[in-house]
Chain A
Amino acid sequence: MERCIAHLDVPDFYVTLEELRRPEWIKRPLALAENGPRAVVQGVNGMARREGIREGMPLSRARRFCRRLVTVAPDLSFYRTRHQHILESLGYFSPLVEGALPGRYFVDLTGTRRLWGPAPDVACRLEHRLAAQNGLHARIGLAANKLISQVAANCIPPGDLSCIFPGGETFFFAPLPVTFLPGVGFKTASRLADFNIRRIGQLAHLPAKSLYQVFGEAGSRLLRLARGIDSTPILPFRETPRLKVIHNLERDEIDRERLEAILFQQVEEAGWLLRRQNRCPGKFSLEIRHADGRIVKSQAFLPRVAAHVDYRLFSFILPVFKRLIQRRVAVRRMVLEFYEFSVPLRQMSLFPWEEAATRRTEKLQQAMDHIRRRFGRRAIEWGKTHEWFQAQMNAGQRG
């Protein structure tokens, strides 16, 4: 059966959602950015783009470009719920809906003709529904696979439909620049430009053998892309449970001890949540983003009992941290993530006296958790994380 895939793309999804929340911002340049002196623009609306503001630009520079710029902190949970909501409403038309990124949706309409009518009509209905229910205007590409539908959507303004009928793919692709192909980034494009190959059509016409001689295995993939061949299925999204503790540092930090203290706070936070939810993580990953944007990441297994005591959890994470912190560049952000959860069931030991020490620390942890439940999260703290200790350390470093 001929496949029929619709791609819905809501440009500037986050900003559009913000505009819907606060309609008075529609006519003003708006940027999404965290608060703080070093924030980076994460999203812009049309007005702001016209002022020359782009994603990834430091907010301070954006403000220099445009003094009237309105900024709003991104509200990721709100965006996520809207995204879920859209997925659900699209699910009404087809069981196969993929929310690739927030604001980007693939809907598999294969075989729905007798139920819903011709595919272009359905696509229009999808768009109407999105507009009516959510106030969002999407651009829709309709084609025989994900690749073409995606490229098709990219060629039109929101609220429009671009329909590529089977057989017309080659003609549609031929005049487009190679950069429209997913997977052709700056590097590949500039390599192709060296051979003066700038349009997808030029690429599609090259003999496979020749292309292989220069690009190797990547050549055949490029050729498949250029000829619009793509058989990847629509994958409905499934969530795996994860616990993420993110810490954006107020000021770039290079001091090892202070970073360790911050990491310990993150571990405490995670430990608290894990014990409340009664879950034991089997793995964790630690991601460190340096001030120059470079990211290092590592993951490791955790023994099932680690999360019972914060200190024990920390002792497994610290070596990974030490391995990651090798560069002489300050740290801007640390993300600690736990996954592969299980319920903490434990076999009792044959030799209970061997466990006495661990039992004692567990009891201490339980007592602390108890105090916190009664008097609040900051009622009791480890010395390592206490402000006074931090201040002492600061003084020590300066002196």
Chain B
Amino acid sequence: MPSSFVHLHVHSSYSLMRGVSSPETLCRKAKEVGFDTFALTDTNGFYGLIHFLEAARRYGIRPILGAHLQTKTEEAVILAKTPLGYEFLSDLITRRHLQESFSLIHQFPNNRLHLALLSSDPHLLTALSSHADCWMEVVAGPASRKSLKIANSLKIPPVASNAVYFAHPDDYSLHRLVRAIDLNRTLSDLPSNEVVEPQRWFKTTQQMIRHFPSSWEALANSVKLARQCHTAWDHSRTVFPYYRDRQDDHFSLLLNQCRDGIRWRYGRTNETIERRLAEELDLIVAKGYVDYFLVVADIVRRRPIHCGRGSAAASLVSYLLGITHVDPIRHNLLFGRFLNPQRRDHPDIDVDFPWDERDDLFDELLSHYGPQRMASVANHVGFGGRAAVREVAKVYGIPAGEIKEVTRRMGSWTHPGRIRERVESHPKFRAFALDPPWPEILALATRLESIPRHLAVHCGGVILVPDRVTRYVPVERSAKGNNIIQWEKDQTEQAGLVKIDLLGNRSLAVIRDTLAAVQRNTGRVLDYASLNPLDDPATLELIRRGDTMGVFYVESPAMRQLQQKTRRGDFEHLVIHSSIIRPAANRYIQEYIRRLHGVPYQPLHPDLRETLAETYGILVYQEQVVQAAMILAGFDWAEADGLRKVLSKKSTQQLSHYHQCFRDGCLRRGVSKEVVDSIWEMFTSFAGYSFCKPHSASYALVSFKAAYLKAHYPAEFMAAVISNGGGYYSTFAYVSEARRMGITVLGPDINQSEWTYGGREQTIRVGFQQLQNVHRGALEDILCERERNGPFESLEDFLLRVALSPADAPVLVKSGVLDCLAGTFNRPQILWLVEARLNSHGRSSRSSMADKPCQLNLFGRRGKIRVPSLPDLTAQQKWRQEIETLGFVLSVHPLQTLKPAIRAFPCPIVPASDLAQHIGQKVWMLGWPITRKEVVTKEGEPMEFVSFEDQTAIYEAVFFPDTFRRFCQDLDHNRAYLLHGRVENEFDAVSLTVSQLRRIALNGEQPNPLKNQPSISPPVRL
């Protein structure tokens, strides 16, 4: 039976921070209450459009597309009646976001055929009714009679609506909550015009009829309008990046570039190359990727330092075009993983660039390809567990300190839906009482799951279309000022827009900076592209030892331990290692190491012997999963690739379907049940994330380049690592590592330091970037002045030439930056001089400098500053000032500063460098935590791996679940511990299994010496 009412004004949670039900929930609700069509009209956007179409298809709803356009003064729902109407509407939404002076009255397109406008604003309707298809929106409620009357008088057909903001009536409280979060208000002082009424939920036809007892016309009009709207939406066409050139025949352009590439990469061609090239080009043409390759090749040519990654690294064409740098023929990389006749989705090409060059590159591309054609992909930022709790607690007026106590126990990756589980079971919440209103807050925070909050720029995805982006999707401006489309990467992909990923990578910047420093210091010119140190003995040895802190991709504790255990430093093994390190693959890693060291093994199945030979019979790469599924279960390629995708997306429901198919397939082909089970178990270790071989090979090459630089130019390399913000570890950890490598780390210096850290021979000079709590501008002024007029000669000279603010000066002094200008003065005296100058005379002379610069020369030095004799700082005081101004103790290891506290400890303390001599023994050790990783055991209990260091070396410590439960609340960053535990050895990698942990009191929190005496009374103010 056709319904007598259709909802034409419905908001999903993609009406950001207003709606609360997902398109899926709305479709389910619509189906439940008997609607077969409704319109999704999110505020100012198509943010969830593809999800809506997908859900509508699943629930058999005919989707109507529209948007609720809202400006400060105008408000209307606009529905797309035709596919062309969609393009008009998308354009209109874009203009709403990009133009300051947007107004519906002036900019609504002049046509009745493609768009319908629904509004309850008589002013807007009168203005537009002459040239647009206008309808009066009559929202159920007390005001509906008035609206009907106006509609009558204006002769505009009325349409009944309920302006739906949530699927169920009990979602109203959630709506109020997100409004309060959005407006930074509390629930009790939300302005009434910022929230909707409680009855704005997805009502049934019967309920709507009851709201309009006397106006059948309004109800019937909703059906009439719905019938006029297009509902057979199809977003399955593919839109590729388009290369624009004077030459029309893009294929021959690509072919010519490949020919040039062969000459560059190989010198001359041979049969293998030719065969592979022909095969690849055929597929590229068939799949429509010609322009895509040309565009990416054009982009990478603009920046010499880059690294193509992902499955595209398997392509000879991308190697020839200079997109990737690993020879796919030599390293046996299969093109099928990237493009395949059976592959239906569209893989994209990912390229990494140095992180600080990416913004410039974007600007360059934008001006070259034109802002109409190019836009970044968006990220839909939702609520993480911590953010959800924090925001709800703020609405409840909980003070920041108390919120932090809860959120810091939550772990950074807690999903909002699992907050409750975490709070109830995690040992960090043990003995931590959550008094009211916390239970209520946590329950509400859980409900914020999957509600998008705002848009951000995706870290690298861009789309490049042949005509205008706004034809496909609305564009808006991000907080940073980039043009972004309204879809995130999944919807973009589903809508058929093929994106290019241009990602920022810190390690490429490290390599670039090191190369530049090497050239500056030694005159030696190394070229990034031709640096190919796969056979360099020093590099191989460094990787073999696992001394790879700072080296791209292989610096994590787990990776370094794996290197130590395997004792292999060659390229092929590094590729395997960087793939096998996966969260769920621990068991197979152990097995791999055993086999590597010569333990004989049987292949899982005779048919897999050849496929898995290079990885010792263990599944390591994604394509091996695909191949194994094809060989054993007889999957075709598409099916097997589907399995791979589902494995990495962790969808339990789809996975069990594939499991069934796989088992059936295998059994049919006579594979025994045990083999099927063990292979399936190995498959599931690919859950979460896993890599394909081309990707790993591409990254391993970058690792090799970085390792080469670390081996031959350690100071320059470590300085570049720290300057670029490091990777896995903190700055302090890298400084420690540098010191262990025999490099002297010098403090910042007014005449020697640059903005970044500088390395030369065996020294690293701390850069100004390390100074904390100083305005960046002030430091840049200093550098600029030094550049222009030479080094500073004295304190007086410095203070005259640089305008320093009284807040910045103490930091400069305390960090020791000015020590070299001090002459006979000690640090307190320098501070005295500087403060005296800036407080009284300094300030007046500076203001006169600004007004009348020439007067300074005449009266510049008014009044003489007398610096009294002050005692110099002790070493301990200097350390404290270093912590304050640099963030860590620079002149010695922080454990050195705690010597007095440790001296009284009765047991001998083993230095980390001697750990290997105590295997099997229980020892006490000192430790300063460097990095930590919490994992969950097979039984679901949390445990933690922590890397500690002492003055001599880094060592790994394991907190098994029992110990973790006891000590997890004591373990913190930036403080020292005494650890007791057993030294374990596994394939020559030594670690400590902790059984006891003790905090060492920091200097500030030594027990009160007056403890047993009455307190010092606070003085009476006189």
Interface residues of A, Cβ cutoff 8 Å to B = 9, 11-12, 37-38, 46, 49-50, 60, 64, 100-101, 104, 146-147, 150-151, 153-154, 157-158, 180-183, 193-197, 202, 206-207, 209-210, 212-214, 216, 230, 232, 251-258, 290-293, 328-331, 397-399
User: Contacts A50-B1011, A210-B868 given; 18 further ones with Cβ under 8 A?
Assistant: A37-B435, A38-B435, A50-B1012, A154-B1017, A157-B1013, A194-B828, A196-B872, A206-B868, A209-B866, A213-B839, A213-B841, A213-B865, A230-B1022, A257-B188, A291-B399, A292-B399, A293-B399, A328-B397
Query: CB within 8 A of B397: which of A37, A180, A254?
Result: A254
Asked whether any CB of chain A lies closer than 8 Å to the CB of B186, the reply is: yes
State how many angstroms separate the Cβ of B67 from the closest Cβ of chain A. Answer: 31
Query: CB within 8 A of B831: which of A194, A213, A331?
Result: A194
Highest count of chain B CB atoms <10 Å: which of A153, A230, A232, A252: A252
Asked whether any CB of chain A lies closer than 8 Å to the CB of B481, the reply is: no
A-chain residues with CB within 8 Å of residue B836 when the two chains form the complex: 210, 213-214
Query: CB within 8 A of A104: which of B835, B839, B1017?
Result: B1017
| Cα of A33 to Cα of B623 in the assembled complex, Å | 67
Name the CB-closest residue of B to A12: B1014
Query: CB within 8 A of B189: which of A12, A46, A197, A256?
Result: A256
A399/B173 contact (C-beta < 8 A), A210-B866, A213-B865, A256-B186 known: yes
| Cα of A79 to Cα of B811 in the assembled complex, Å | 48
B-chain residues with CB within 8 Å of residue A255 when the two chains form the complex: 186-188
Contact between chains at A207 and B188 (CB < 8 Å): no
Would you give 18 A-B contacts (Cβ < 8 Å), ordered by A?
A46-B1014, A147-B1022, A154-B1019, A157-B1013, A183-B1021, A194-B828, A196-B828, A206-B868, A209-B866, A210-B832, A210-B865, A214-B832, A254-B186, A256-B189, A328-B184, A328-B185, A329-B397, A330-B396
| Cα of A330 to Cα of B186 in the assembled complex, Å | 10
Asked whether any CB of chain A lies closer than 8 Å to the CB of B823, the reply is: no
Name the CB-closest residue of B to A155: B1016
| Cα of A207 to Cα of B867 in the assembled complex, Å | 10
Contact between chains at A11 and B1017 (CB < 8 Å): yes
Which B383-427 residues have C-beta < 8 A from chain A?
Answer: 394-402
| Cα of A101 to Cα of B1020 in the assembled complex, Å | 8
A-chain residues with CB within 8 Å of residue B871 when the two chains form the complex: 196, 202
Name the CB-closest residue of B to A290: B399
Interface residues of B, Cβ cutoff 8 Å to A = 172-173, 184-189, 394-402, 431, 433, 435-437, 810, 814, 828, 831-832, 835-836, 839-841, 865-868, 870-873, 877, 1011-1017, 1019-1022
Contact between chains at A49 and B1020 (CB < 8 Å): no
Contact between chains at B187 and A397 (CB < 8 Å): yes
Query: CB within 8 A of B1019: which of A11, A183, A252?
Result: A183
B-chain residues with CB within 8 Å of residue A216 when the two chains form the complex: 839-840
Contact between chains at B870 and A291 (CB < 8 Å): no
B-chain residues with CB within 8 Å of residue A329 when the two chains form the complex: 397-399
Contact between chains at B184 and A49 (CB < 8 Å): no
Query: CB within 8 A of A158: which of B172, B398, B1014?
Result: B1014
| Cα of A206 to Cα of B810 in the assembled complex, Å | 20
State how many angstroms separate the Cβ of B1016 from the closest Cβ of chain A. Answer: 6
B-chain residues with CB within 8 Å of residue A104 when the two chains form the complex: 1017, 1020
State how many angstroms separate the Cβ of A360 from the closest Cβ of chain B. Answer: 32
| Cα of A52 to Cα of B770 in the assembled complex, Å | 38
Highest count of chain A CB atoms <10 Å: which of B399, B828, B840: B399
State how many angstroms separate the Cβ of B481 from the closest Cβ of chain A. Answer: 29
Contact between chains at B1015 and A49 (CB < 8 Å): yes
B-chain residues with CB within 8 Å of residue A9 when the two chains form the complex: 1017
A-chain residues with CB within 8 Å of residue B1022 when the two chains form the complex: 146-147, 150, 182-183, 230, 232
| Cα of A234 to Cα of B1017 in the assembled complex, Å | 19
Contact between chains at A100 and B1020 (CB < 8 Å): yes
Query: CB within 8 A of A252: which of B186, B398, B401, B841?
Result: B398
| Cα of A214 to Cα of B843 in the assembled complex, Å | 12
B-chain residues with CB within 8 Å of residue A230 when the two chains form the complex: 1022
B-chain residues with CB within 8 Å of residue A60 when the two chains form the complex: 433
Residues of B contacting A: mostly: loop
State how many angstroms separate the Cβ of B99 from the closest Cβ of chain A. Answer: 33
A182/B1020 contact (C-beta < 8 A), A196-B828, A196-B871, A207-B868 known: yes
Query: CB within 8 A of A254: which of B396, B400, B431, B877?
Result: B396
Query: CB within 8 A of A49: which of B431, B840, B865, B1011?
Result: B1011
Name the CB-closest residue of A to B395: A328
B-chain residues with CB within 8 Å of residue A46 when the two chains form the complex: 1012, 1014
| Cα of A209 to Cα of B867 in the assembled complex, Å | 10
A-chain residues with CB within 8 Å of residue B868 when the two chains form the complex: 206-207, 210
Name the CB-closest residue of A to B187: A397
State how many angstroms separate the Cβ of B880 from the closest Cβ of chain A. Answer: 9
Contact between chains at A292 and B1020 (CB < 8 Å): no
A-chain residues with CB within 8 Å of residue B1011 when the two chains form the complex: 49-50
| Cα of A193 to Cα of B1022 in the assembled complex, Å | 23
Query: CB within 8 A of A181: which of B396, B433, B872, B1019?
Result: B1019
Contact between chains at B396 and A11 (CB < 8 Å): no
| Cα of A292 to Cα of B1021 in the assembled complex, Å | 26
State how many angstroms separate the Cβ of B310 from the closest Cβ of chain A. Answer: 45
State how many angstroms separate the Cβ of B985 from the closest Cβ of chain A. Answer: 40
Name the CB-closest residue of B to A193: B877
Contact between chains at B397 and A291 (CB < 8 Å): yes
A292/B400 contact (C-beta < 8 A), A49-B1011, A60-B433 known: yes
Contact between chains at B173 and A256 (CB < 8 Å): no
| Cα of A64 to Cα of B430 in the assembled complex, Å | 13
A-chain residues with CB within 8 Å of residue B185 when the two chains form the complex: 328
Contact between chains at B186 and A157 (CB < 8 Å): no
Contact between chains at A196 and B870 (CB < 8 Å): yes
State how many angstroms separate the Cβ of A280 from the closest Cβ of chain B. Answer: 33
A328/B186 contact (C-beta < 8 A), A195-B870, A207-B866, A209-B866 known: yes
Contact between chains at B873 and A150 (CB < 8 Å): no
B-chain residues with CB within 8 Å of residue A292 when the two chains form the complex: 399-402
| Cα of A287 to Cα of B408 in the assembled complex, Å | 32
Name the CB-closest residue of A to B1022: A232
| Cα of A293 to Cα of B814 in the assembled complex, Å | 32
A-chain residues with CB within 8 Å of residue B872 when the two chains form the complex: 196
Contact between chains at A194 and B814 (CB < 8 Å): yes
State how many angstroms separate the Cβ of B29 from the closest Cβ of chain A. Answer: 20
A157/B1014 contact (C-beta < 8 A), A60-B433, A210-B866, A230-B1022 known: yes
Query: CB within 8 A of B1015: which of A11, A64, A146, A257?
Result: A11
Contact between chains at A194 and B1014 (CB < 8 Å): no
Name the CB-closest residue of A to B1015: A11
| Cα of A216 to Cα of B843 in the assembled complex, Å | 13
| Cα of A149 to Cα of B397 in the assembled complex, Å | 46
| Cα of A153 to Cα of B400 in the assembled complex, Å | 40
B-chain residues with CB within 8 Å of residue A209 when the two chains form the complex: 866
State how many angstroms separate the Cβ of B341 from the closest Cβ of chain A. Answer: 59
A251/B1017 contact (C-beta < 8 A), A209-B866, A214-B835, A292-B400 known: no
Contact between chains at A291 and B398 (CB < 8 Å): yes
Name the CB-closest residue of A to B881: A194
B-chain residues with CB within 8 Å of residue A213 when the two chains form the complex: 836, 839-841, 865-866
A-chain residues with CB within 8 Å of residue B396 when the two chains form the complex: 254, 330
State how many angstroms separate the Cβ of A64 from the closest Cβ of chain B. Answer: 8
A154/B1016 contact (C-beta < 8 A), A60-B433, A210-B866 known: yes
| Cα of A90 to Cα of B871 in the assembled complex, Å | 45
A-chain residues with CB within 8 Å of residue B433 when the two chains form the complex: 60
State how many angstroms separate the Cβ of B439 from the closest Cβ of chain A. Answer: 13
Name the CB-closest residue of A to B829: A195
Highest count of chain A CB atoms <10 Å: which of B187, B436, B868, B1022: B1022
| Cα of A9 to Cα of B873 in the assembled complex, Å | 36
Name the CB-closest residue of A to B874: A196
| Cα of A64 to Cα of B431 in the assembled complex, Å | 10
State how many angstroms separate the Cβ of A336 from the closest Cβ of chain B. Answer: 21
A-chain residues with CB within 8 Å of residue B1015 when the two chains form the complex: 11-12, 49
Contact between chains at A256 and B1017 (CB < 8 Å): no
| Cα of A372 to Cα of B865 in the assembled complex, Å | 73
